[in-house]
Structure 1
Amino acid sequence: MGEKILIADDEKDILSFLKDSLLEENYVVMEASNGEEAIQKAKSQPDLILLDIMMPHKDGLEVCREIRNMVHCPIIFLTAKETEQDKIQGFAAGGDDFVTKPFSIIELKARIKAHLRREKRKASQGKSRLIFDDLIIDLTEKTVYCKNQPVLFTKKEFHIIELLSMHCGQVFSKEQIYEKIWGYDAVGDASGIAEHIKKIRQKLTAAGVVKNHIATVWGVGYRWEKI
């Protein structure tokens, strides 16, 4: 049985077309026609979600924010518009990629496969933990602990922590962070990285982490510090 993909879109023609196209690739397909239904279907832990931004009841951004701490799979936004502000909001909500309507089904399938391959590579990595005083980063569980209590991060937030902490002291520019986490084949830019860093810092502080492990190197980027 293939990977499980949730498609959330209120346009019946697009929903049907995407379902048929993905069934041809032997994926298991679930459907949702509005935001509330998408949230309920996401509880079944799909391997990837195609999420339309403009939907009734709750739009794709609201849905993404609500499910991001519940699911860790890639989320690809389907959108009729793709401005820089849309991308910033989408990445901040926890999205991984954008595909603009009308889209090429061949390109969309390629993006889906690329994201799923990336997830398999990450899952195959050996068990390891990074420890910084009271802060523990479990690379296998994809979880951060402060004083043995889990701190909830979105998938992208955790991958930023993972990248920086595994290369302690090394400075990464916003562009490097974006390319390493979103991938070279992603459509977008690094403009949302600062917002992700801000949220990571806020969550760590709220969890009781006193030290600021993510240092800003002005004009260059960010680095992880043991302190």
Structure 2
Amino acid sequence: MRVAILDDETAELQRLEQTLQSMDESQRAPWLTHCFCRGEEMLRRLKRERYDLLILDWQVPDISGLQILKWSREHLEDSPPVIMITSRDSEQDVVRALNAGADDYICKPFRPHELRARILAVMRRRGGVRPAEAERSQFGDLLFDDAELCVSRAGQPVTLTEREYRIARYLFNNLGRPLSREYFYERFWPHEEVHSSRPLDTHIYRLRNKLGLSPEHGWQLLTIYGYGYRLERVGDEQAH
């Protein structure tokens, strides 16, 4: 679970980060927090990185949390849930934030147990609204089955490890978006597992071959030097 937190008060950022890191998510990956004290810095990262949850303070000196919220709803195809945490507690402000797309609104000073409960409630609501058919997704001749963690290509099953499947799924969920190596390692490698760029590069190489991620099949998996990878759909005129 990758969470981006925006707050210009260092003490508040630390308190939020500690609250998030104390959450028990034993069945999934750990809670990974990314803290920002300036809205402009967070906006730059949102354009390049994918997060599962945004926690935003409204009043930040440069780009406010409300502006970040509006930008995420307008520009991110798979916009993450957003919780506003702010000292602005008037009914008018609450309504304004909710109308802009906030999933919840918490007034400062926040209570850690309440925050944890609200976060889990927001994530459950977001997970519950997805239709059952979303467990199976078609991309060209590739069919992903999230329930079985398997993929078929042109009707033929492709043998993938669980990690390969999850990496491939996220590449296709983020078509056209650059994804950093840091992102993949945070998502798919245990913390205790020592890593370099090599294991990820090996997985990417295998996926290119197994899934046919090449221009003749309608896909291009690009290596972004010094950063990571981006999967793109090639125009129909190049695909067979």
TM-score when normalising by structure 1:
0.52
Is the 8 Å Cα contact of residues 98 and 105 (structure 2) preserved in structure 1?
Answer: no
Partner of 2:129, secondary structure, is helix
The correspondence for 1:39, drawn from 25, 28, 43, is 43
Q: Secondary structure at the match of 1:66?
A: helix
Question: 1:120 aligns to what SS in structure 2?
Answer: helix
Whether the 8 Å CA contact 1:47–1:74 is kept in 2: the answer is yes
Give the deviation of 1:125 after TM superposition.
Answer: 2.4
Match of 1:58? Answer: 63
1:60 is matched by which residue type in structure 2?
G
Q: How far does residue 97 in structure 1 lie from its aligned partner after superposition?
A: 1.0
Match of 2:130 among 123, 129, 143: 123
**Equivalent residues of 1:6, 1:41 under 8 A apart:** no
The residue that corresponds to 2:225 in the other structure is: none
1:82-139 CA-partner distances (Å, limit 9, x unpaired): 21210222123221111000110100011111111222223362259xxxxxxxxxxx
The answer to whether 1:6 aligns with 2:4 is: yes
Structure 1: distance between partners of 2:126 and 2:98 = 18
Instruction: State the AA in 1 paired with 2:32.
Output: V
TM-score (norm 2): 0.49
- Size of the alignment, in residue pairs? 126
- Give the superposed CA RMSD: 1.8
SS across alignment from 2:35: strand
What 5-or-longer segments of structure 2 have no aligned partner? Answer: 24-29, 136-240
Structure 2 counterpart of 1:32, one-letter code: F
Q: 2:107: which partner in 1?
A: 100
Report the AA paired with residue 66 of structure 1. Answer: W
Match of 1:141 in 2: none
Q: 1:1-227 residue pairs with structure 2 within 5 A?
A: 3-25=1-23, 26-43=30-47, 44-69=49-74, 70=76, 71-123=78-130, 125-127=132-134
Q: Match for 2:35: what amino acid?
A: E
What code does the residue aligned with 2:9 have?
Answer: E
Secondary structure, in 3 states, of the residue corresponding to 1:90?
helix
Q: Which stretches of structure 1, 4 residues or more, deviate above 4 A after TM superposition?
A: none
Counterpart amino acid of 2:99?
Answer: A
**1:59 Cα shift?**
1.1
Taking the aligned partners of 1:105 and 1:89, their CA distance within structure 2 comes to 24
Return the letter of the residue paired with 2:38. Answer: N
Equivalent pair of 1:53/1:59 in contact (CA under 8 Å): yes
Give the aligned residue type for 1:40: R
- Segments of structure 1 that go 5 or more residues without pairing to the other structure are 129-227
After superposition, the C-alpha distances for 1:159-185 in whole angstroms (9 at most, x for unaligned) are: xxxxxxxxxxxxxxxxxxxxxxxxxxx
> How far apart are the structure 2 equivalents of 1:127 and 1:79?
34
Deviation, 1:41, is: 2.7
Structure 2 counterpart SS, 1:126: helix
Q: Which amino acid aligns with 1:11?
A: E
Percent identity over the alignment? 32
Residue-by-residue CA offset, 1:8-52 (whole Å, 9 max, x unaligned): 100100101111221222311111111112212323221111100
- Aligned AA for 1:28? L
